[in-house]
Amino acid sequence: MSDPADKKKLATYQDVLDAPPYTVAEIIAGELHVSPRPGTPHAVIASALGGELYSPFGAGRGGPGGWTILDEPELHFRDEVVVPDLAGWREERLPIVPDEPFLTLSPDWICEVLSRSTETRDRLEKMPLYASVGIRHAWLVQAKSRSIEAFRLHDGMWLAIGVYRDAGKARIEPFDAIELDLARLWAKTPQPTRASDGATYYQFEGP
């Protein structure tokens, strides 16, 4: 019989609050993950994407509006705590952002900008969590290969709907009401080197 004392202690929100400053602390499946703040190329791409989407969808300038889009919101799903790079809610579900330190309402769209230190966790741990709480759309942005992988939730599983690359223009769900100029996302980041051209894509099981 195993000693209860040998069981791994589950992380709590107090562990998140006690994390060192200038880090990102998350709890996934009871385990605390503390990551350094994203590097500058990561931050540039996340900021550019948020800007491209905010005007037409957040503010209704040049687009249909109807969304609340936030950078790095802290989200609580039961005992899980995650901080995606971007998240969006349809306005009928979140018309006003509450004055609270975190949100418990699951978004309608989630976006993670992948980095070497977080890609495995983003793909293999956070994406299944996002599916389990009913988030309808997800984007994974690969900075080095300059690509966006887009997914739609179908029967509780992620269905890959497209990979959009480099300097092309694309209409990507759920923001397909406008054409997104991908070149603007990478305009202020270094050109990818030959060693980093390849992207590793996670194949989610389809229905």
pLDDT surpasses 80 at 163: yes
**In order of start, what are the domains of the chain with their CATH numbers?**
38-196 (3.90.1570.10)
Flag whether pLDDT at 95 surpasses 50: yes
What letter represents residue 133's amino acid? V
Question: In angstroms, rounded to a whole number, what is the distance separating the alpha carbons of residues 65 and 89?
Answer: 11
Which pLDDT does position 127 carry in this prediction?
A: 98
Q: How far apart are CA 148 and CA 52, in angstroms?
A: 14
pLDDT at 4: 52
Name the β-bridge partners of 7.
none
- Report how far apart, in Å, the C-alpha atoms of 7 and of each of 3, 10, 28, 179, 192 are: 7, 9, 17, 51, 45
Judging by DSSP bridges, how do beta strands 147-154 and 86-90 pair with one another? unpaired
**CB-neighbour burial class of residue 118 (10 A; exposed 0-12, middle 13-18, buried 19+):** buried
Determine the pLDDT at residue 205. 39
Chain-wide mean pLDDT for the chain? 89
Residues 165-178 pLDDT 10s: 988 899 999 999 99
Report the pLDDT value the prediction gives residue 7, as an integer from 0 to 100. Answer: 64
Q: What is the pLDDT of residues 1-18, one digit of tens each?
A: 445 554 678 999 999 999
Please determine, for residue 138, whether its predicted confidence score (pLDDT) is greater than 70: yes
Q: Over the stretch 31-41, which tens digit does the pLDDT of each residue have?
A: 999 999 888 88
Instruction: Using a pLDDT cut of 70, give the percent of the chain over it.
Output: 89
pLDDT at 203 over 60: no
Give the pLDDT confidence of 51-92 residue by residue, as tens digits. Answer: 999 999 999 999 999 999 999 999 999 999 999 999 999 999
What pLDDT shows up at residue 190? 80
Q: For the full predicted model, state whether its pTM sits above 0.75.
A: yes
